[in-house]
Amino acid sequence: MGTYFNPEIETMERGELDALVEERIRYTVNYAYENSPFYSKWFRKNNIRPSDIKSHEDLRELPIISGETVRKNQPPEKDRFEFKCAPWEEIYTIHETSGTSGRPKSFFLTWGDWQRYAEKYARSFVSQGFETGDRVVVCASYGMNVGANTMTLAAQKIGMTIIPEGKCTFPVRIMENYQPTGIVANVFKLLRLARRMKEQGIDPRESSIKRLVVGGESFAPESRAYVEELWGVDVYNTYGSTEGTMCGECHIKEGLHVPEDLVHLDVYDPNLRDFVDDGECGRIVLTTLLPVGERTGTLLLNYDTEDTTVVISRDTCRCGRTHMRIMNPEREAETFWISGHPFNRVDVEAAVFQRENMDYLTGEYEAFLYGDEDEGTVTMRVSLECEDPGNCAKEIIQENFIGAFFKYKRDLHDAYLEGTFEIIFNFVGPGELEFYKVKGRPKRMVDRR
């Protein structure tokens, strides 16, 4: 396949790429006006013509919507799906996402949507070194989520073979029988698989795996480094969503490339009033981009993902790609505030995965916040799973954790020294963490205040 899946687009000169993006913004906004019940009403109510939106900056004139906006504009709140913007005969699949509130968001995909989604993943796979003949185990759900099916469709475009396990609890014989060259899973699934292989006398470093792809949740550089050490291969990052984000890290590993021709990604200030400068952290707000003449089942303009990131660069990457690069996004829902100072679940993970700690820990952890800072101390209890609780260097682990956690958080460290914030540690044996007793994806960080 070579270095690029779509070299003409992926290496397009910045000026040409910006012009293509603005052409597609204009077409997409007009498509929304003509086909989306939600946007048709909004344009008319606010006396804004689609022709008024001519450039990226003009998107600020349009509303910023959220998942809640989508929920409020579909049954049972409304008689129809206000964001559905193609007739039923053009809808290929229906998907739901983020139903944790009991009210999932509905998304409608045409076959053209699937082709564009697959294009994004195919670019990422090729940028990471995958090629015709690779065999990849996909440890992601083949249900109402789009990720696993999109990767499978992308593989067909590249000539890869997919082993659609869905979960990472498959028998170790899969590794021996089919000799996969890659796995797509999250950090912890890869850690558990490595442990199971070792228990059966198979060293992951000597397996057929050539590279790993981590997706589905944010992770710390320290946990990536440990997975790379365990498997002896590069671990690449992806960021995707049913809404169509799909950004991927190339083999250079200096940020995730945004497929700018297919999804427009802005970074806004925390109050969602304006863009922030490149290099500043802010909220990811995305806009579906349609190639001129094409159609879509669900169209989102200025969609607040509730994730945060930083634009690293819009300059050409050392891999030759010209599309902008962003830092690994973090979920705003996993950001917590103590004494007016924030930290993210990923900061806790980074402190857990200090290399010296990993001589004793499995990497599995969970943390809970307790207390009321208006009345006294806020406590974070960090529970860590040990390989052998009877032989666990607890003091060393605690020192490493505290040193790493507060390294870039002086204000939070001051609260710790003043006694308004405390950290207590709980060391447990394999399988003894609370989340093992709960079905579904583990919550690593829980606020119980």
Rounded CA gap, 342 and 332, in Å? 10
> Splitting the chain (449 residues) into consecutive groups of 10 residues, what average pLDDT does each group show?
87 97 96 96 92 90 92 95 97 81 86 96 97 96 88 96 94 97 96 96 97 88 97 95 89 96 94 92 94 96 94 96 96 90 95 97 96 86 95 96 95 92 96 89 89
User: Does residue 311 sit in the same domain as residue 366?
Assistant: no
Q: For residue range 1-53, what is the model confidence (pLDDT) as tens digits?
A: 458 999 999 999 999 999 999 999 999 999 999 999 999 999 999 898 999 99
**H or E, element range at 156:** helix 147-158
Which structure tokens are listed for 395? 């003091």
Rounded CA gap, 279 and 379, in Å? 33
User: Does residue 342 sit in the same domain as residue 440?
Assistant: yes
User: Does residue 192 sit in the same domain as residue 82?
Assistant: yes
Q: For residue range 218-256, what is the model confidence (pLDDT) as tens digits?
A: 899 999 999 999 999 999 999 988 888 889 999 999 999
Residue that is last in its domain, among 279, 296, 328: 328
User: Does residue 180 sit in the same domain as residue 149?
Assistant: yes
User: Does residue 240 sit in the same domain as residue 371?
Assistant: no
**pLDDT score, position 1:** 45
How far is residue 54 from each of residues 60, 264, 291, measured CA to CA in Å? 11, 14, 15
User: Does residue 321 sit in the same domain as residue 343?
Assistant: no
Structural domain range at position 338: 334-447
**pLDDT score, position 442:** 83
- What amino acid is encoded at 84 in this protein? K
User: Does residue 287 sit in the same domain as residue 311?
Assistant: yes
Query: CATH number for the domain including 303?
Result: 3.40.50.12780
Query: CATH number for the domain including 405?
Result: 3.30.300.30
User: Does residue 316 sit in the same domain as residue 243?
Assistant: yes
Which structure tokens are listed for 229? 């050490």
Task: Tell which residue, 42, 44, 38, has the closest CA to residue 70.
Answer: 38
**pLDDT score, position 98:** 61
User: Does residue 139 sit in the same domain as residue 219?
Assistant: yes
User: Does residue 282 sit in the same domain as residue 376?
Assistant: no
**pLDDT score, position 241:** 83
Which structure tokens are listed for 219? 């992770």
User: E strands within 203-324?
Assistant: 211-214, 234-239, 247-249, 256-257, 263-268, 281-288, 303-313
Residue that is last in its domain, among 328, 354, 383: 328
**Residues 6+ away with beta carbon under 8 Å from 201:** none
**pLDDT score, position 2:** 56
Give me the number of domains the chain comprises. Answer: 2
User: Does residue 211 sit in the same domain as residue 354?
Assistant: no
Report CA 143 to chain centroid distance, whole Å. Answer: 18
User: Does residue 141 sit in the same domain as residue 176?
Assistant: yes
Residue that is last in its domain, among 274, 304, 328: 328
**pLDDT score, position 340:** 87
